[in-house]
Amino acid sequence: MTTIKTREPAPESSKPAPQADLPRLGWRGGLRYLWTQLTSMRTALILLFALALAAIPGSLVPQRRVSPVRVTDFMTEHPTLGPIYDKLGLFNVYASSWFSAIYLLLFVSLVGCIIPRIGVYAKALRARPPKTPRNLARLPAYTASETANSDYDVLHRAAAALRQRHYRVDVGDDSVAAERGYLREAGNLVFHISLVFVLIGVAIGALFGFRGTSVVIVGQGFSNNLTQYDDFSAGARFTDADLAPFSVNLKDFDVKFETGPVQRGAARLFRANVEVTEGPGAAPRQEILEVNKPLHIGGTKVHLIGHGYAPKVTVKDAQGNVAFSGPVVMLPQDGNFSSIGAIKAPDARPERLAFEAFFFPTAMLDDQGPRSIFPDALNPALFVNVWYGPPKVETGRPENVYSLDTTGLSQLKEADGQPVRIGLKVGDGVNLPGGKGSIQLDGWVRWVKLQIGATPGVPISLIALGVAVMGLCLSLFVRPRRVWIRIRRGEAGPSVVEVGGLDRADARAGLTEDVAELAAELSQRPEDVSVR
């Protein structure tokens, strides 16, 4: 016998609900949705946080705009990681496409968020205070007291008292509605508008600003054109015509170091005496340039950021001709200004000469080798290693003036095969072995490193930051509050004055006190007023 089972029909409740026939969003609706999301305050905060995160690599990874030498060193030390960083734009963070994208999105988000809020705020300024609620007893602060005065008198006094407290008042037949604290939203708007101007100022500085450095030897000068810079970086919209025409001549450089037992060798004075000439035909003027006290020349600032020594050297070739003569800038390597550099005489004949140079302002020679034991020039000495080679064909390629490329050169050696090492004090001269020529230390001078730059957007950003702080203070300290006063007429007895208050923002102290004070002014018996 076969049993056939039949399936019972599903109850109505288990049937799937019919799907609503929703309209398609369409490309216009999609764009509207994206714009709404982009201009929301939440998105603006996320983008602001993302901008802060994106700026972190700019302080951790060397930047080409600030220190191209450190970038080159990083690429050399990290042959695998360096090219990856370069492709990601981490060596030029603030000009990278991804940083610019976050920056522009934040700018658009802020503008799109602020404009609607300005319209809402303008409507709120024109609107009347909200009508008196039907039941004032439900408000956070409420009190009621009897009065024997006429309704008109009570309402008139209430309106006057509220206006003295900077409320905007609307007087009705049996009640008064008042509101204050409109500056709170104004402070919010000012703060966000100021952020937009901060971004504008930063963008102007990034597009039209520039920064460069130049080493200037005492007795020489700097002229503000591109050929005078040792390194230079500028914004995308910067042109050579934006450089202000001026020159700075370094007359003298005063340096003092601590000679006592406490903090011996610490810097006590760095002061450059310079002569500034602004533009052709202008009369020169004397100025003092110190650390953290830059010169302001038009819209350009000139900072003093470093100094060192430049020994004066004369090199003669094998024919007795002067192949090089003058100061050679040496780069300090430690706090006692042990310095290194390169002396190059490419015009020496029949073979060119070059020297690896080590300058010590207060030289000491012991088991550790030559070194400086004090930063001031108390016992200056120059030590060199000698290199020679055939004349080099000029290629026009720039090379580092502070280091020696020994490609194509041979190191000069003694008869026993040891490298030639020469130590010189001021006035000493030595003939090189094999009749290669001679070298003499004539003296030394100081050099300074100047940083020249202009950031045209800084005043805009600074003013905007100050205004933003003012707007933030308004939004934090202004109390938006609403107060209502109603006259409730008694059937047989005196009328009752009801006073209620409400804080529109976060709960703050003082609401009950303000309501009680206002009720006491209007009450027939102030001592009976109590606020719950």
Banded model confidence at residue 35, pLDDT cuts 50, 70, 90? confident
Spatial contact of 313 and 324, defined as CB atoms under 8 Å apart: yes
User: Which residue would you say has higher pLDDT here, 381 or 174?
Assistant: 381
pLDDT of the residue at 395: 67
pLDDT of the residue at 506: 65
For the domain spanning 129-181+479-528, the CATH number is 3.30.310.80
Q: What is the mean pLDDT of residues 399-421?
A: 88
* Spatial distance between the Cα atoms of 329 and 342, rounded to a whole number of angstroms: 8
The pLDDT of residue 34 is above 90: no
pLDDT of the residue at 4: 39
Banded model confidence at residue 177, pLDDT cuts 50, 70, 90? very high
Of 214, 125, 98, give the one whose Cα is nearest residue 451.
Answer: 214
Domain boundaries, the chain: 30-121, 129-181+479-528, 207-259+266-306+451-467, 308-392+401-446
Read off the pTM: 0.71
* Spatial distance between the Cα atoms of 63 and 56, rounded to a whole number of angstroms: 12
Percent of the chain residues topping a pLDDT of 70: 91
The pLDDT of residue 220 is above 50: yes
The pLDDT of residue 465 is above 90: yes
Percent of the chain residues topping a pLDDT of 90: 46
Of 382, 387, 487, give the one whose Cα is nearest residue 426.
Answer: 382
pLDDT of the residue at 194: 93
Q: What is the mean pLDDT of residues 216-221?
A: 95
pLDDT of the residue at 513: 87
pLDDT of the residue at 2: 36
Whose tokens are 């914004």? That residue is: 235
CA atoms within 13 A on the CB side of 348: 27
User: Which residue would you say has higher pLDDT here, 64 or 266?
Assistant: 266
Banded model confidence at residue 21, pLDDT cuts 50, 70, 90? low
pLDDT of the residue at 316: 95
Q: What is the mean pLDDT of residues 236-248?
A: 88
User: Which residue would you say has higher pLDDT here, 148 or 294?
Assistant: 294
Q: For 119-134, what is each residue's pLDDT tens digit?
A: 989 998 888 899 999 8
The pLDDT of residue 514 is above 90: no
Q: What is the mean pLDDT of residues 273-285?
A: 90
The pLDDT of residue 286 is above 80: yes
* Distances in whole angstroms, Cα of residue 523 to Cα of each of 278, 323, 510: 75, 104, 20
pLDDT of the residue at 66: 66
* Spatial distance between the Cα atoms of 4 and 22, rounded to a whole number of angstroms: 43
pLDDT of the residue at 464: 95
The pLDDT of residue 82 is above 50: yes
* Spatial distance between the Cα atoms of 409 and 390, rounded to a whole number of angstroms: 8
* Spatial distance between the Cα atoms of 374 and 257, rounded to a whole number of angstroms: 9
pLDDT of the residue at 412: 94
Q: For 346-366, what is each residue's pLDDT tens digit?
A: 999 999 999 999 999 999 988
Q: What is the mean pLDDT of residues 461-470?
A: 94
pLDDT of the residue at 530: 54
